[in-house]
Amino acid sequence: MNRQSNTYTIIYAMVLVLLVGIGLSVVYQALRPKQEENIANDVKRQILASALIVPSQGETIGELYNQHVKNSFIVNSEGNRLEGNAFDVNVSTEFKKPAAERRLPVFECETSAGMKYVVPVYGAGLWGPIWGYIAFDANGNTIYGAYFAHQGETPGLGAEIESPKFQDQFKNKDIFASDGAFQSIKVVKNGQEPAEGAYVHAISGGTITSQGVAKMLQESLSPYTNFFKQLSQGKEVSK
């Protein structure tokens, strides 16, 4: 075949594209298990971080997770347990459903301060999704720790939801009022503190992201109300 012809050029290009495609596919399939393991470990790290557990030198996230997370399950908005693996629940997908239809993951995490119950939260910031995990005391009311992350918030502004300074404010805050009504946690500017209800201070210069955190907590935690009340009453989760 004439190497200077258009036909040769087209065939050569097609073969080259085919070979490159096959090569990339083989590499992707070879690396996929490791990628999935890294994604799972990052989720485990976030769950542990909300319960104030961080790995020491030489500890792996997988080992630490297995050591502390003793149980996990799924509940519905009635507080009843559902079939399935809590770790496999796609929280962003569930968030799009009506609250009554969501599958709500719960992770039981054993800490030096006793058993904590970790639940995921998901919402929207200024530039993209924000998410995190909240660890509760066994009373189903008091926050033990919080972890937040984001996809594309502005460094030094909205991205500060990842900072310990912001997250630490949530410790020891209650999500129920004295009359038992769910009230979540308000995120307010300095000087605008409410007379009643738990609150934290918003991020300076990150108003929209701070509002997103407040809305995320309200909409993500309220479906757990019946489950939290079962915890406060010392009841086993119904199956």
Task: Judge whether 51 lies within some domain.
Answer: no
81-82 vs 104-111, strand pairing mode: unpaired
For the stretch 70-95, pLDDT in tens is 899 999 999 999 999 999 999 999 99
Q: If pLDDT is split at 50, 70 and 90, which confidence band does 33 have?
A: low
CB contact set of 110 (below 8 Å; sequence gap of 6+): 68, 69, 70, 116
Say which amino acid occupies 199: Y
Q: What was the pLDDT predicted at 4?
A: 65
* Number of domains forming the structure of the chain: 1
Say which amino acid occupies 77: S
More confident residue, 47 or 3: 47
Task: Judge whether 25 lies within some domain.
Answer: no
For the stretch 149-191, pLDDT in tens is 998 898 888 999 999 999 999 999 999 998 999 999 999 999 8
Encoding tokens for residue 231? 């915890």
Q: Is the confidence at residue 111, as pLDDT, over 90? A: yes
User: The domain containing residue 127 runs over which residues?
Assistant: 61-232
Task: Judge whether 173 lies within some domain.
Answer: yes
Task: Judge whether 16 lies within some domain.
Answer: no
Q: Is 111 exposed, middle or buried (0-12, 13-18, 19+ CB in 10 A)?
A: middle
What's the rounded Cα separation, in Å, for the pair 189 and 172?
Answer: 20
Average pLDDT over residues 5-33: 72
More confident residue, 145 or 10: 145
Task: Judge whether 171 lies within some domain.
Answer: yes
